[in-house]
Structure formats: C-alpha cells, structure tokens
Structure 1
Amino acid sequence: MAFEGLADRLQSTLQRIRGKGKVTEADVKEMMREVRLALLEADVNFRVVKDFIKKVTERAVGQEVLKSLTPGQQVVKVVHDELTTLLGGEQSKLAVGTKPPTVIMMVGLQGAGKTTTTGKLANHLRKKLNRQPLLVAADIYRPAAIQQLETLGKQLSLPVFSMGDQVSPVEIATKALEKAKAEHYDYVIIDTAGRLHIDEVLMEELQQVKEIANPHEILLVVDSMTGQDAVNVAESFNEKLGVTGVVLTKLDGDTRGGAALSIKAVTNLPIKFAGMGEKMDALEPFHPDRMSSRILGMGDVLTLIEKAQTTVDEEKAKELQKKMRDMSFTFDDFLEQMGQVRNLGPLDQLLGMMPGAGKMKGLKNVSIDEKQISHVEAIIKSMTKLEREQPEIISASRKRRIANGSGRTVQEVNRLIKQFEDMKKMMKQMSGMMKGKKKGGFKFPFM
C-alpha cells in the first residue's frame, strides 16, 4: 500500500498527542522531530521537509491551538491541513477545450507506465465523464508500443489511430487530429515516445508534436517508486515542454511516497491522477485532502462511496438487504457479493479508506490473501444449486465431493460453512440494528 511506512509512523506519532488535554510547546517540538524523521525516511525532499516542519510548528504552537479545549486534536488538524497543502491543496481537474476535441499529450520516460496510463485515462473519460476519446499511437521507437496501445484499445473497445513505425510522430499527430475533428471525438490522447533517460533528440521531437497538436494538457507520467528521481524528471520535462500536470503510477505499490509529497512543492505541478493498481479502471483523480486523510488514518469515505456507486448494482443491493433481514441469504448471494467487492479494488486498499480501520481491533495487522478468495469461490462453485441454497443439507459425503471438486480439503469446506452461518447471524444483527455486542470475533473467510 502507498505511504504505508510513512502512514504508520505519522499515525503512531499523532496518536500520542491526539487525546492530550494540555499540549506544550515541548510536546509539539518532540512530535515534529518524529514527523521530520518519518518524512525523510519516506524519501521526501529535504527542503520540502524543512519547510513543512516550520509551517506546522508555527501554527501548532500558536495561542489558538495551545489554549483550545482540544489542543491535541487541533495539532492533528494542523498537520492534516499542511499535508493537504503540500500535496496540492485542491483537486486539479483536466482542462477542457472550448470546442472538441480536447487534446491531451502524454509524456514521460520509458518504464513509467505511459502507454498503459494512456489507456486508463481514455477508459476513465469514457466511463466517468461519458466522453468519446481517440487514442493515438505516436511512440514509433519502443518495440511493440503501437501494438500495446492497439491491444489496450481492443480490450477497452476504444478506437486507436496508428500509422505504423515508419511515419514521423508529427505526421501521426496531424492526421489523428484531422480524423478526430471529422468524426467528432471529444478527446484526443497522444501516446508519445519515451527514452530511458532525457535527451535533446527526445525533447526536440516532443516540442514539434506540441506545436502541431497544440494540446490543452501535457501530462507527465512518472513512476512513484523512483522517489526523488521522479521530481528531477518532472523538473526537466517541465522546463522543456511546459507540463500542465503529473500522473503518478504505481502508487499502490510498496512506495515510500516521497515523489507525491515532493513533486508539487518542488515543481509547482499539480498531481492530476494516481495509478492505484494494474487493472484498467485503477486510475483515480488525485484529491490532496483525501490522500492526506488516508495517510493520517482518517480514511477516505468519499472515494469509497464513489467506487461503490459505479460498481454496485443498487437494485441488487436492496434485494440483498431484504435477504439479510429475513435470513434467506445464500451461498449464491455471497458469491455475487464477493465479486462486487473485488470489483471495487484490492481489499487492503478498501480497508485503508475506512476511517480508523488501522486502530480497529482485529484490523490493525489483518492480511487479506487474494488467493484465499479464489479458494472460497472454488468451494462454492463445487456445490450444487440446492447445496448453495440450503447448506444444512451438506452431509459428510457431500463435503468430500465438494472438497475433491474444488481441490481444497474437507476442513476448509467445514470452516467456510461455519463462517457462512456465523456471517448470516451477524448480518441479521446488523440489519436489525440490534443493541449490544456479540461476544467473540467474526472473520471473513478471506481474511
């Protein structure tokens, strides 16, 4: 998960001061030492850390905070506000042309995920904004770059304009724009060439494409795993091309987060999108305030709701709610529900969006094994329709057949049936808003 080490350090540091009824200047300075170390370990630019600590300290030791009724919480709010400012303050949306097509030029070094991000962005524009994008394959140098974009186009059912690798990118861009205007596309997204490192030849060619395409946006795709190098790359591209925004890829990986926390402060370029996974819908608009809340363990309910609204079928959700109330929830319903949850994204990311999930008993160090979900699915799919509807009829011989059919053990089948029955009882309690707490803990079958 992105920022994991930084998030853990900051959350534990802030937790010590959060509940204090009285906060002294010494408390704030001690906390700031911990925050400084956490940021430096996350590979945040030294100058950025120094400036951040100075701003937080000045606000946190002010009379307004120290003399407030909840000084500890006020200090946490100051850190949240300054972290949000560091990440860009407000969401920076894509520019839109006065008349279509809006032209977006994708630039970046090889290996940053530029071509994949081009496909993800086109998918986002179509699904979330109901726009018609045209993808343009203008990377004629990297082996299979054109083929990769065409494959993504087929996968997403999106049109791709290409002229092979023997035509100049300038001519490709020119012809693509003519086609987009003639066929009334809303967006043109140009996947340009990258290099392993920045050189004059690359920049000169990109400048020529920029002159012809006159893009409304020049989005720089950078790999957040590269840390401070990402900031250096952003500075170089911006100096030559006038970049309008940054897309951070692999922000779901084991990254320390230094690039995200440094890039806006150093280059003044807004982060417009973040790649949060390998799937083609795993591109999120970047909200500085929401990311700040995630880092500080305050959750990100708005993003969770947005994901659910686009993924979960409302009618099916109502039907499921009714089944929970009258205890008619079956293994088929459970299977369908698991599919909808998986579509929301990696489960550890979803937990990270729940406010206080890190502090909830049993969720702090929970590990979610995606393979276990597949095992559960295999077991359920090995049951007959009647067995899924009436688990109580599953005898010992049926359990052996289900285990053999799914490639799992009888013990796993027993465990799943037991957990399913426990879950039905828990759902009955939750849906009825019953008072009192159930003794003992419940674990989902895939945790």
Structure 2
Amino acid sequence: MATEGEPLQGGHELDFGSGSQNPTPPPPAAAPAPPDGAFPQPAPPYGAQPGQSYPAQPERPYGAQPTQPYGVQPTQSYGAQPTQPYGVQPTQPYGAQPTSYPAQPGQPYPAQPYGPQPPRRSSKGLLWGLIGGGAALLLVAILVVALLVVPAITRSSVTAADAVKAYLAAVSQGDAKTALGYLESVPSKGLLTDEVLKESNRLAPISHISVAKGGEGKNSATVIASYRIGDKTMSSVAYEAYRIKDSWKIANGVSPVSFQSLSGLDATINGVPTAKLTDAYVFPGTYELALDSKYFSIDGDATFTIVSPEDAAALYTVKTALNDAGVAQFRSLVRSAVEACVAMKTLATPCGMDITAIDLSGASPVEGTVARTLTADGSAALDNLKPESGGSSPTVVSSYDSISVDMKLQGSDGQTYTVTFGGYLNTPTVDFGAAAPTVTWE
C-alpha cells in the first residue's frame, strides 16, 4: 500500500496541475508516526489524483467522523481504500462502487438518493392522464353550470313585456290555449275559445303589436302595449303582470262581460249563445251581438271592440227594440185589448178608464150605464204606437202614447153625463218572453 507523499509502486509520478490556472500546492510535511496503540490515520479519500498531496488529518477520538464543509467529497489516492477504525463497519461493501461521482471543480454534482428508484411513467402517458382527468373535471363543471346557472339565466331572460307580447300574438293568431297560458286563473272560459277568436279576427284582426319594455320590478310589472284592431288603434293599453314561480302571468288580460240586457232574447255573441253564460270573459278583440228572435233586434250598433273592462261595460246597457214584425204584433195586441176595454159598460175596466169616483154634482154613477167610444185620434194613435223596452226585462215592451176615448154614463138622478176629465187608459205592456204574449196594463 502506498503511503502519503510517495508515488505508486511500479508506476510513474503524474502531474495533473502543471498547466492549470490553480497550481497544485506544495506537499505538507510528513505526519509523525502514531504512537503504540493509536489508530492509524485514514488514507487519502477515494478519487484523489496521483501526485496530489493533501494536508494531514488531525487526530480525533475513536469513532469520531472527520469534519468537513457540506458537500465536499473526501479525496484519496486512486485505488486506495480508507482505513476504518477497529470494529467500525464500512458504509458500503468492499469493492462497491459509490452511488455518486466526485464533483468537478467548481460544479458540485447533486447526490442521488440511496437505493433503487421507483419506475417512472412515460411523459406521454402522464400527459394523456392529465388531459383525461382535466376533461372529466371540465365536463363536471359544465354540467354544474348547466344545472345551476342556465335556469337562472332562462328565468331572467323572459320579461313581463315578453309575456304580454306573446299573449297578444297568440290572441291575434286565434290560439286560445296558448293565450290562456299567460293568464292567471279565469272563472269561466265559455268565450275564451278558438272559435270565438276566429270570428273576432274575421271581424277585425289584431295587428301592429308593440310592447314597451322597462319599469319591471322583481315580482310585478306594468307593461304598456299598443296594437290595432281592424282600423282602430289601441294605444297605451296597460297590462298588470306578476311573477309566479318562474314565469309571468297577466292579471288583466281578459275583460268581464254581462248579457243581462239580452236576457230572454236568445242572444249570441260571435255565434255563442249567451243564455247560459255567467261570469263570462273575453279576450281583446271584436264582438258582434245577434238576436235569434222573431220580434227583436239590437237597438244601435251590434259590434263592439273590447280591450278593457271599460269597453266591456257597454254590453251592460245594450238596448234592444222590436223589429218591424214585433212592432206590428205589439200594435195589434194593444188595439185588441183597448177595443175590448172600450166595449165594457162597467165603471171600472182592466185597462183603466175607471170612473167609480166621478163627481156628478151630487148624483152617483150608475153601474153598467157607461158608454165608451174610441175616437178617431185614439184610433190613429193605436196605429202609430211607439213601443219601448221596459227596465225589468228587454222582452217587456210598453207604449206611453195617449189614446183618447169618449165616455158617457147615467147618474142616479136619471141624467146622462159626459166624462170630461179622468177615466184615462193605463199603459199597455206586452211581455214577448212569455209563451203567449198578452197585454197587461200598468
């Protein structure tokens, strides 16, 4: 074994630093031999260059490790094994190769972990794994957005103005079912049908629908709409809408109507009989009344444009009148009733002309002695009676014309008296709603 400061046996001394910028320092003085019983100093570390001297190692207690800066590798002569103190096991088997290589000057080589390394994935497999995992996470995120965000966007994107415009469009297209979907609950749908809307649009179609947006609250809104019905422009029609769950419902989209003024006249509205309609409502549109009656017709315009309850109120005061056949029938019935009364001799009659309390200057009238005569003026009045509908029912018709009748009677004193004042006819009235119309006197 070579000793420190001596060249290897059988070889030549080599100089690795003659041309270097860092010349090899001169060799230190030889270390004194250890006394008896002391352990020898370790040889130069593994990897030392031949001919390169190192400073002597200081003495240290048994088992102590030499101190050196962190990361510095111990140097030793090539091929020489370091001497270990007695009883100390070497850190690796004899002849085993070191797990790290000596650092080059100025560039330390990082130490590798001791022991076998775990198998590594290929970079392509890792890349595809990351891509696959990322795609799965992205898909989950998209589903969460679809389930949570999209419904909220859908709810917020449908406004009250959109609902009103869609409602009016459905009405203009005669689609009652779709239109009803935009309304709150309606008690009666008897007139809210496709057939009624079809006739309404035939009479005067709805067009030029325009809805103003804005002014919408969280749960309620007032929507201003304008449109045309036939040649009539409906401007600034206000619709009240309320949010119910995820949609807007219109509170005043239909108008209530009443047909009390047509009771008993077999009336129809846009072809639908009104006799059994109660709490009826209509869509915005045009409505035509007709009477399936032998004697009556609508007195005035029978067509109504309705977009609000104020418009619908006109139906409450619809007037009816006898048609020509009805007038002729009324005059005939009244004449017959008047002539029957005029022929009576009694002091009192069903048609009036009662003279039971007449003053005969002290004498009293004698029953059964009354003579009544229809005058020429009275006869002419009967021929020209002007019937008027009564207030209790549209089928009840009366006449308030004056019909003159001359009357004479006998008094208890035997004298004949002419009635100048009193004894007038009552008001003739006919109810054409009765099975057999007759004259009553009021």
Higher-Rg member (1/2)? 2
Point out which structure has higher relative CO (alpha carbons under 8 A, 6+ apart).
1
Q: Same fold (TM over 0.5)?
A: no
**What TM-score do you get using the length of structure 1 for normalisation?**
0.17
**What TM-score do you get using the length of structure 2 for normalisation?**
0.17
Q: Which structure features the higher share of strand residues?
A: 2
Q: Which structure features the higher share of helix residues?
A: 1
